[in-house]
Chains A and B, each alone.
Chain A
Amino acid sequence: MSPMTAQIAEKVEAAPRRRSIGEVVLTVDDLQTVFYTRAGMVRAVDRVSFALKAGETLAIVGESGCGKSITALSLLRLIPDPPGRIVGGKVVLEGTDLLSLSEPAMRKVRGNRVSMIFQEPMTSLNPVLTVGRQISQALMMHQGMSKAAAMERAVEMLRLVKVPEPAQRVKEYPHQLSGGMRQRVMIAMALSCNPRVLIADEPTTALDVTIQAQILDLILELQNQLGTAVILITHDLGVVAETAQRVIVMYAGRKVEEATVEELFARPLHPYTRGLMASIPRLGLMRNQTVETGRLQEIPGMVPPLFDLPAGCAYAPRCALADDRCRAEYPPFEEKRDAHWAACWHAGE
């Protein structure tokens, strides 16, 4: 563990929290994932580090293409190779470096000790297998359960995620369920082996607004019950404010800011974070930022293509504060305030 990661872990412990948070279960240290494309090598995840404790929710925020989903897939070593490859860093789960495990050993981790739920409940379930089959697969694989026992447990899991008539539902196929129900099934599947870490990649993005809140509540409730650590990947700062204890903001494959939720929303340091907040209706109004103008602000420009990053700060081309130093030199990721890190030459200005 690098000194910085240890420091983060320490500070997190000191940070205010809403629920009982336990030992560190997962540390990610200097993770680097690259993709080899026709246009050249792309650093999709560039030296990302963080620590995660039992029962904690860590949000990773950013626009699409910022590397947050690739970070999540890298933790499970699900990066398609080729074209992608994890080229450096450590992912330590309770003392074991997942990146050094053999593939069969890694398989015993996936779905068992670290699980993942995906954005698209419509397409993330196998259309030709019953819901029960899909949930029981992991139980049979990881817990050595018999088919009958696994099916029984699948019914229990569906009951746990509040799917009505679970005994009937296990026999049904995904297309017979609504989007919200399918995401519940995904959650039941992911939690069936009682994992230490649950990675939720935009779990509510594809759902109706009313269903979104239900699903988030469900994840939090189960997290409390089971003591699972959750990594929540989202572009929605509203979701972050409601669910997470700590937040990492990513831009162009790098961490640009990290703080507790309270701290981040009270005093965002990175201009990008502030831009994100200003572009979200609820938060903007909450912070009284855009009331005078009466309109939402958007961040000008687009995320630069990863194969063509500028020399200095990747955000500089879109940043109002950018000067020559920003364009020439990448700012270090430093603790600017107590338990609040940012990578910006003009942090807080």
Chain B
Amino acid sequence: MASYLVKRLLLMLLTLFGMSVLIFVMLRLVPGNIADIVFEAAGMIDDADKAQIEAELGLDQPIIVQYLQWIGGLVQGDLGFSYVSEKPTIEEIGPRIPITAKLALMALIFSIVLGLPLGVISAVRQNTKLDYALRVISLSGLSLPSFWLALLILMFCVQYFGTIPIYTRPPDTLWDELLLYSIPAAAVGFRSSALIMRLTRSSMLEVLRQDYIRTARAMGASNTSVNYYHALKNAVLPVTTIIGIEAAFLIGGLIVTETVFNIPGVARFLVEAILWRDYPIVQNLVMFIALVVVVVNFLVDLLYVVLDPRIKYAD
């Protein structure tokens, strides 16, 4: 187990290193940098000024030097400065992380609380009207773009409450915060819950066919006990493996939802930074997202060992 962990950690580092190269190259595929954009916007075309700015930002150096500077700083905890605000990147990104983290956590909880039991019900009532209804709902959950769902919710609120529940100022109390984030979290989480529901359903159907379920019934277990104890304990295993995919899903959903609800989190910040070609922010944010995904996947693997007694990672 120990050497497995070491191997996994090394592989994670390798992935993150590869990601740093990939993102660095991708961002520089096309000519055009912040200096161009600023100059274009300001209508100035003074090559000397432009060269000076490029020199200030280090854009005049060879791409490999730029990369090494970035990675060198990253290893030492120095993320560089934002081109746009000229503040340290860490100060720009740092305060936005908790906002997105809270939103993501709420969305995840929402998706599990909704998706897991509905998936079980759908499987247990296979081919009934309820099952069909739940399947159509979950499929529409996967079909609705989260930003449209968010807009629909806004429309609904305008119609019936006369207000738009978008972010205007930082919340004062925990209750305020919960209230403020619950609607966007639901908008994002609905999609994830649909995914969980579908997977839980098919996984439950598979498990319910197994011999040990028949054994449990033959020993006198009630339907509730069979479904939620004997079967679900097995059926959640494949569901946990998609939490990694789920994390990626959520990040995608958060990007658009934060935009709609005007929430100052990291996800929306990424889009702003991309539009501004603020490389230090984009690079570091993408690395951060990759780190989150990789770590979540790692934790899921560990969780799997805890949940499934059959899995023991060989050394």
Contact = CB atoms under 8 A, between A and B. Distances in A.
A–B direct contact (CB < 8 Å): yes
Interface of A: 76, 78, 104, 107-112, 115-116, 118, 120, 123-130, 137-138, 141-142, 173, 175, 186, 189-190
A78 B234 contact: no
Interface residues of B, number: 20
A125 B222 CA distance: 17
Given A173-B310, A175-B310, A124 B220 contact: no
Contacts, number: 73
Interface centre among B210, B214, B234 (most CB of A within 10 A): B214
Contacts of A142: 220
Given A110-B220, A124-B214, A125-B212, 4 more contacts: A108-B220, A111-B218, A125-B215, A128-B307
B216 to A, nearest CB: 7
A110 B222 CA distance: 10
Contact of A128 (B216, B217, B220, B234): B234
A190 B234 CA distance: 22
Nearest to A142: B220
Contacts of A129: 230, 233
A198 B307 CA distance: 33
Interface centre among B210, B307, B309 (most CB of A within 10 A): B309
Contacts of B309: 127-128, 130, 173, 175
Contact of B216 (A109, A115, A126): A126
A186 B215 CA distance: 9
Interface in B209-237: 210-212, 214-222, 230, 233-234, 237
Contacts of B307: 128
Contacts of B212: 123-127
Contacts of B222: 104, 107
A111 B214 contact: no
A273 B214 CA distance: 31
Given A126-B234, A128-B307, A173-B310, A111 B211 contact: no
A141 B220 contact: yes
Contacts of B219: 110-111, 115, 137-138, 141, 189-190
A123 B220 contact: no
B138 to A, nearest CB: 24
Contacts of A118: 211, 214-215, 218
A137 B216 CA distance: 9
Contact of B218 (A104, A115, A125, A173): A115
Sorted nearest first, the 8 A-B pairs with minimum C-beta distance are A111-B219, A111-B220, A110-B220, A123-B211, A173-B309, A126-B212, A124-B211, A116-B218
B215 A124 contact: yes
B91 interface: no
B230 A126 contact: yes
B54 to A, nearest CB: 60
Nearest to A123: B211
B49 interface: no
A82 B290 CA distance: 48
A308 B310 CA distance: 44
A109 B308 CA distance: 31
Interface centre among A107, A142, A189 (most CB of B within 10 A): A107
A173 B310 CA distance: 8
A81 B152 CA distance: 42
Contacts of B237: 128
